[in-house]
Structure formats: structure tokens, C-alpha cells
Chain A
Amino acid sequence: MSVSEAPTDMDNAEGGVAPTGTAAFLIEFQGITKTYGQGQTAFLALRGVDLRIRPGEFLAIMGPSGSGKSTAMNILGCLDTPSAGAYLFQGTHVEHLDRNQRALLRRHYLGFVFQGFNLLARTSAQENVELPLLYRGEAPEKRHQAARAALALVGLSGWEHHTSAELSGGQQQRVAIARAIVTQPLVLLADEPTGNLDSKRSHEIMELLVRLNQEQQITVLMVTHEPDMAKYANRIVHFVDGVVSSDSGEETPACS
């Protein structure tokens, strides 16, 4: 079955690349462009983005609305493919991966947090957090433990059996973060994670992200348009009209 084989293939691919030492960057965008639509109505959302991200960075992407932040984020998160350019993940080209291969990449290396939380309705926090483990085929006992641990990490011990309707916005976003990190991903991608929260909850979420970045060594990529939130990052990239207009410091490794 291709499902069970694919991750192994992926591992092999990395194994083949990593020893060469070229994968100093976790993520490398080379001239990424993204065109929506075709012909007359074609719209160039990204016009050649170059971006290199080291393991352990906490990167904030800022920029005006419509500047291509989410588009870049979707490509970074392998939810979407670029129209042109190269995307290297741990030194491996991933820009041409098909649907299922991208899904497996997400399953094993990436975690997502969305502006709208996106928890399953009528489902307990525990079950929400267990979901990615279910798709990874983890045994029930391991699932339960890992989910409880992840919920504890985001400060939600004792809330395991509450459904999203019974949780506040801040708590829901914590559950979403727990769900994103329960698989111990390399990268946590968050598109405006505090967009729906008041400022107090927003700061709490940011502190949590910083803690995960520093204690769990998870690379965090975050889109935000609030400078207050961007301050928590150790690198800020500005997007304007589909290109990177400024970068606060690619060459400064975050965790050194």
C-alpha cells in the first residue's frame, strides 16, 4: 500500500540528502511564484520569493492585506504548490510532490494553527488532539498519552473532555496548538493565530508559541499583521505585492 510506503520513501530521500551537509536550511524558497487563475484573469500572488529558514527560527511574516502572506504560508505548509520556483524542505525538492505525498509530509513534519481554530465540532479536546495521531496509525494508549501530554503543555490539563463549544476562544486556540504539536512536528505554521482573540489572550498564545519554539525546538512560522505579536518572533519578513520587501535578518540564527 502506497500509504505505508510513502513515508519510508520520504525518509530515505532525506537520508540521502542530509549527510551531504547542504541542508543547513530547514526550508528554502528559490524564486517561488504563484499564479491564480488563467489567461485574462490570471493573478500573480507571489512574484519570485526567495526565503531561507533555519531550524529553530521563530519567523513572523507581516505585510498588508493581499500581499501574498497566506499564499506563501500555504506553499510553505505544503497545502498548495507553487506555479514556478523551487521549494526545498530539509534539502529535498518538494515543489512537485503530488497530493498524497504532500499530505504525508504534513502528517509527519508539519503542524497547523489557523485563525479560526478549526476544531472538529461536537468533539472533545482530547479527540481533537488525537486526530493527527489516528491518521499516523498510533496505538490507542500512545494516542491518549500523547494527547494528554500535549494538552498539558498548552496549559489545558483537566479540559480534555470539553468540546469546542464549551471552551473560550483562547482555549480553543490552545487545543488547536496542542493538535498541531502532538505529532512533534519540525515546523509549526500559524496563519494569523491571534486574529480572532482579544489582546490578553493573544499575548498568552504568543508566549505559548515562544515557549514551544524554545523548549521543544519547533520552528515557528507565523503570519500576523499586529506588530505587537510580531515582536515575539526573532525574525520578521515583510511582504509587499507578492515579494519580500524586507527581512530582519536571515543570517542571524535564532537559537544561538
Chain B
Amino acid sequence: MFLNTLLLALREIRRNLMRSFLTILGIVIGVAAVITMVTLGNGATRAVAEQISSLGSNLLILRPGQRLGPGRDGVSVPRFRIADAEAISAQIASLQAVAPVVNSGATLVAGNENWSSAINGTTNDYLVAGNWTLATGRPFSEDEEKLGRAVCIIGETVRAKLFSQQNPIGSPLRVKNFSCEIIGLLASKGQGAMGMDQDDMVMIPIRTAQRRFTGNQNVSTIMVSMKDGADSARVIAQIGDLMRERRKLADHEEDNFNIQDTKQIAQTLSGAIGTLTTMFGAVAAVSLLVGGIGIMNIMLVSVTERTREIGIRLAIGALEHEVLLQFLIEAVALSAFGGLVGIILALIACPFLANLMQVPFLFDPSINFLSFGFSAAIGVIFGYMPARKAASLDPIEALRHE
């Protein structure tokens, strides 16, 4: 009996291809939207999570100026010095590493190849603070750091661009206007979040950077890595007090520096992305619901259109529940098919969009199952009401319907 009804329902779908197509369109778009939104959102969240772990744990970044970002406080704000970093390291407890950093950029030349990259003048502490390990070679020696020798440690991207296959250790690298010896190669961290290449970087001793590039004693930022389990709020307060003291700020004056807790920022960011994912997912879910209402509408219209037909079926002996089942199967088959097409569309679009947005493509079976189940459920719910209306009609009334 069920098979027969299935046959009837499928015949009905085949006989009304255009109507069937319009019916499932809403579901197709809804399901594809939900899956795409959630998949891309998951990818973005994963990208941020990866960046959090690549940042190293419990990292604080000190910058001059009140606010985050450049500009606002102008050049009048006093910069940090290497001595500030040394003071933090000496006076604050539960720290792992304190790395003063001079940021710069330069064109690198090795042999016939050249490449523009970021230059970080810093100390070995940068390796700890930035969670870097050396693939080969060695870190800076004490002498090299103190005296500002012309040595450098290069990132994987720099090696790949300038040295292709060969081992770069011991090779000379021309950085802007001076030549330095490559003593180390950083292990690759790969692509950071939002397409930022963390491996595109050269480390040189901070005094080398100050002498050769900036020509002053300034430090751009100080990276402070806390020990695991350190109370970051307390450490931030202590560093803040120390810096106010060193900068001779009176009680009524505001801080002229800021301390960023990167982990907190990253968490806030991933929280925000999570919220966005949920929101977009919800918007997409609404479109799925609208698709379901579309199914209900078309089913209702088709009931009206088919009232006579239902009358005929009832007159020749169809039972109420058979007509009900037929409509139900029609609705479920349509919305399940729409769900499948939606999943296929999403699976075609997602890798492409993920690549475009430079986030990883994470196939999430649960959202696929969920939206498929949801579309089938929409078919059942929205198919049921019109089916009820159709099946409960009086055959004479239905036949008389114009």
C-alpha cells in the first residue's frame, strides 16, 4: 500500500515538474545558505583558534600611546627603550620572556633573488614569546645581541623565496644596505589567520636594527610572555605601575602607553566570530524557514488546484489516509530532494568561498545532517497541513469544486 502511494506521489511530482521545481527552490537556497554560513564560520573560528595557539600562551604587548593603533598620540609620546624591557624582566615575577622589538621592513637580496620582508630587531626572548622554534642553526649569541652583530635568523618564506632548495645557514643575506650572515632558520608556522604569512620575516639583534635602520634607541613594542598560570591582570597592573614610575607620570596623568593581552584579544575576536557565525546561521535558518513556508503555500495552492482530483480519487475509493499519505510523501520527497541539492550546492560553494576568504574548509557533517533533517521536517510539517485539508474533503464537495 505504501509503495503504491509512493508511486502516486512520485507520479504527481513528475507530472508537475515546474511546480515541483519552484517548490524546492526555497529549500535548496535555505539549506545551501545555512551550510555555507556555518561551514565558513567554523573555518574562520578555526583560523582564529590556530592563531591564538601560534601566538604563544599568555602574551602581553606593550606599545607607546594611550590607545591601540597608530596615529592618535602623535610622535610626542615617549617611546620605550631596551632598558624598559630589562627593568620588566628584572622586577616583575612569573614572566617567561621579555622581548623588545624594533619593527621595520626591507628588501632582501641573496644571489640573483630579492624579496621584501618584515625585519624584526629583537632578542632571543622573541623566540619564546612568539612560540618559535629553530628548524636549523642557532639563536643569537650573547655577544651578537650586545654588540649588534650582522647576523640574522630567517623565516621559512624568506628561505623559500631566496634560497629555493639549498641550506641557507652561513650564507650572506643583504638586508637593505648591509650584509649579514644567516645563522638560523625558523620552523614554519604556516599561514596565520586571514592570510597573514607569519613566516615572511627576518630576525636580527635589536641593537643591529637600531644602529643600521632606525638610528635611535627607540623600541617599537615590548613582548612579554608570562608563565603558564600567571595572573595576567596582576602582571598587567605591575607592569603598568613600573612603566608609570619609569616614565615619571604624576598621579593625575593618564597612561601614555598601553598593554594588550593578546590572548584576550584573540578570545574576544573568536567570540565575535562565533557570534557572527551564529547570527548568519540564524539568518540562513530563517531563509530555510521561508523556503518551508513556500512549500506550504505551493502545497496549499496545489490542494485547491487539485480539489477535483482529490474528489475523483476519493470517489473511486481512495481512503482519507491514503490521500494524506500521498501528499505527505510528495512534500517530504520534494523537501528532502531540495535538501540534498542544497547540500551539494553548499559543498561545491564552500571550498571555493573558503579559499577566497582564506579560511580553512572544515566539512561539518552535523550541520549537513541537521539542515537535511530540518528540510525533511519542514516537508512533513508543511506538507501535513495541506494534506489534511485535502484528505478531509467530502468527495461530493470536492467533485463539485470549480
Contacts and interface: CB of A to CB of B under 8 A. Distances in A.
A29 interface: no
Most chain A CB neighbours (cut-off 10 Å) among B7, B312, B396: B312
Contact of B317 (A4, A118, A122, A135): A135
Contacts of B16: 122
A99 to B, nearest CB: 6
A87 interface: no
Given A79-B395, A106-B316, A106-B317, A137 B1 contact: yes
Interface residues of B, number: 24
Nearest to A3: B319
A167 interface: no
B8 A134 contact: yes
B396 A74 contact: yes
Given A74-B396, A118-B399, A123-B15, A135 B322 contact: yes
Interface residues of A, number: 33
Given A121-B309, A123-B15, A135-B322, A107 B316 contact: yes
B389 interface: no
B256 to A, nearest CB: 81
Interface in B343-402: 395-396, 399
A131 interface: yes
B11 interface: yes
Interface string A89-109: 000000000011001101110
Contact of B1 (A4, A79, A110): A4
Contacts of B395: 79
Contacts of B11: 127
Contacts of B399: 114, 118
Nearest to B3: A137
A166 B384 CA distance: 34
Given A107-B317, A135-B4, A118 B312 contact: yes
Interface string A130-165: 011011110000000000000000000000000000
Contacts of B160: none
Given A112-B315, A118-B311, A134 B4 contact: yes
A50 interface: no
Contacts of B15: 122-123
B314 interface: yes
Given A118-B399, A134-B7, A112 B316 contact: yes
B51 to A, nearest CB: 59
Contacts of B317: 103-104, 106-108, 110, 132, 135-136
Contacts of A108: 317
Interface in B296-315: 308-309, 311-315
A118 B399 CA distance: 8
Given A120-B309, A131-B313, A137 B4 contact: yes
A100 B320 contact: yes
Interface of A: 1, 3-4, 74, 77, 79-80, 99-100, 103-104, 106-108, 110-112, 114, 118-123, 127, 131-132, 134-137, 179-180
19 contacts: A74-B396, A77-B315, A103-B317, A104-B319, A110-B317, A118-B315, A118-B399, A119-B312, A120-B309, A121-B309, A122-B15, A127-B11, A134-B4, A135-B313, A135-B316, A135-B319, A137-B1, A137-B4, A179-B316
Given A80-B396, A112-B315, A118-B315, 11 more contacts: A3-B321, A103-B317, A103-B320, A120-B309, A123-B15, A131-B316, A132-B317, A135-B317, A135-B319, A137-B1, A179-B316
